[in-house]
Amino acid sequence: KPQLVASNERFCRFLEEYCPVVTETYYPTIWCWEGRVQTLLRPFITSRPQVQYRNELIATADGGQISLDWFDNNDSLYYPDASTRPTVLLLPGLTGTSKESYILHMIHQSETLGYRCVVFNNRGIAGEDLLTPRTYCAANTEDLEAVIHHIHSLHSSAPFVAAGVSMGGMLLLNYLGKTGRDTPLMAAAIFSAGWNVFESIESLEKPLNWLLFNYYLTTCLQSSISRHRQMLEKLFDMDLVMKARTIREFDKQFTSVMFGYRTIDDYYEDASPCHKLKSVGIPVLCLNSVDDVFSPGHAIPVESAKQNANVALVLTSCGGHIGFLEGIWPRKCTYMDRVFKQFVQAVFEHGNKIVSM
């Protein structure tokens, strides 16, 4: 059974009644239960539901642009009125976009419930041009704030929640820690977030993890900015950035410099959501597996979570990073997808029982 960490009995009862999946035994796929194997196989094993997006580019205060992919769900039977149709904002991981299989599955789950979804693609990675020499990071919440304000201004009468995966979850937590109760979001769901960046980076720099994950992710980061080289060369030594062989080296030469941090340690300290958890002011459900090499179990802030009545952690012993595969042939729904579906539905249909906590 997952470990449910929550100090608020009211929140616990709410989850047990309306999101019972968090109290059920999670049985990982028997032939790939180990965390690294789950992490590696999920993108290849899980299906990719067909989703038709409507793209929107919104302008930012610094002259840049953000690409949003909307799934309007105009055929919604449960919520035919678009003005009050519940809206789910989805935040993908480090180099992820609206095309990731885990995002497509979340949209598929939302579609069956009648909800509208919008995917926040970080700057420069969804095919749009960079208009300024700036991308994104886990600590800077300005773009997310602009997106949330924009969505809320378009659908101010619609119930509104957000779900973030991996770095998207870290960004969402950092935003919630900054805004407290001052947000149009009713609640949020966080999946496989890295809680302490120092611990995450140290784990990913172990030889096997570097070989399986770190080097590949570094090349993905480099690939995501290489298309914008002409714009970014105005501020960065791109030859040096492209020589990075670890995420730490990339962040040292590029990310921390872009966002004005004196050292990379200053950036990692600011990017770590564990420091912001005490300030979260709306109900948040966070799912992690303790065998996730991206977010080591010992770095999950269990004690801090117990000190905030708005926070509930769900910790599984297996599942890896955005894995949570289950069943003999795990093509479709994962444990993570079921947690997402039940929690979002619980908030939209029974949220009055917890939003006033």
CA 198 from centroid of its chain's CA atoms = 18
Residue 355 is predicted with a pLDDT of 75
Angle, nearest 10°, between helix axes 101-113 and 335-350?
Answer: 40
Place of tokens 């968090």: 22
Active site annotation includes 166: yes
Which is catalytic among the residues 143, 270, 291, 292?
292
Residue 322 is predicted with a pLDDT of 97
- How many C-beta atoms lie closer than 10 Å to residue 233's C-beta? 13
Which one, of 312, 331, 270, 298, lies nearest residue 199 by Cα? 298
Q: Are 217 and 248 in contact (CB under 8 A)?
A: no
In order along its 357 residues, the chain shows pLDDT tens digits of: 999 999 999 999 999 999 999 999 999 999 988 999 999 999 889 999 999 999 999 999 999 999 999 999 999 999 999 999 999 999 999 999 999 999 999 999 999 999 999 999 999 999 999 999 999 999 999 999 999 999 999 999 999 999 999 999 999 999 999 999 999 999 999 999 999 999 999 999 999 999 999 999 999 999 999 999 999 998 999 999 999 999 999 999 999 999 999 999 999 999 999 999 999 999 999 999 999 999 999 999 999 999 999 999 999 999 999 999 999 888 888 999 999 999 999 999 999 988 766
Residue 242 is predicted with a pLDDT of 97
What distances in angstroms separate CA 244 from CA 51, 61, 73, 283, one per listed residue? Answer: 35, 31, 42, 39
Torsion angle, alpha carbons of 221, 222, 226, 229, to 10: 100
Active site annotation includes 182: no
* Fold assignment, 3-196+277-355: Rossmann fold (3.40.50)
Mapping DSSP onto H, E and C, the string for the chain reads CCEEECCCHHHHHHHHHHCHHHHCCCCECHHHCCHHHHHHHHHHHCCCCCCCCEEEEEECCCCCEEEEEEECCCCCCCCCCHHHCCEEEEECCCCCCCCCHHHHHHHHHHHHHCCEEEEEECCCCCCCCCCCCCCCCCCCCHHHHHHHHHHHHHCCCCCEEEEEECHHHHHHHHHHHHHCCCCCCCEEEEECCCCCHHHHHHHHCCHHHHHHHHHHHHHHHHHHHHCCHHHHCCCCCHHHHCCCCCHHHHHHHHHHHHCCCCCHHHHHHHHCHHHCHHHCCCCEEEEEECCCCCCCHHHCCHHHHHCCCCEEEEEECCCCCCCCCECCCCCCCCHHHHHHHHHHHHHHHHHHHCCCC
Task: Please provide residue 237's backbone torsions phi and psi, each rounded to the nearest 5 degrees.
Answer: -80, 90
pTM: 0.97
Residue 357 is predicted with a pLDDT of 64
Q: Note every long-range contact of 77-81, with CB atoms under 8 Å and residues 24 or more positions apart, other chains counting.
A: 77/114, 78/113, 78/114, 79/114, 79/115
Which is catalytic among the residues 272, 304, 321, 337?
321
Summarised one tens digit per residue, pLDDT across range 168-197 is 999 999 999 999 999 999 999 999 999 999
Which is catalytic among the residues 67, 166, 192, 289?
166
User: What six digits make up the tokens of 303?
Assistant: 């004690």
Active site annotation includes 72: no
Residues contacting 227, CB < 8 A, separation 6+: 124
Which one, of 246, 270, 248, lies nearest residue 259 by Cα? 270
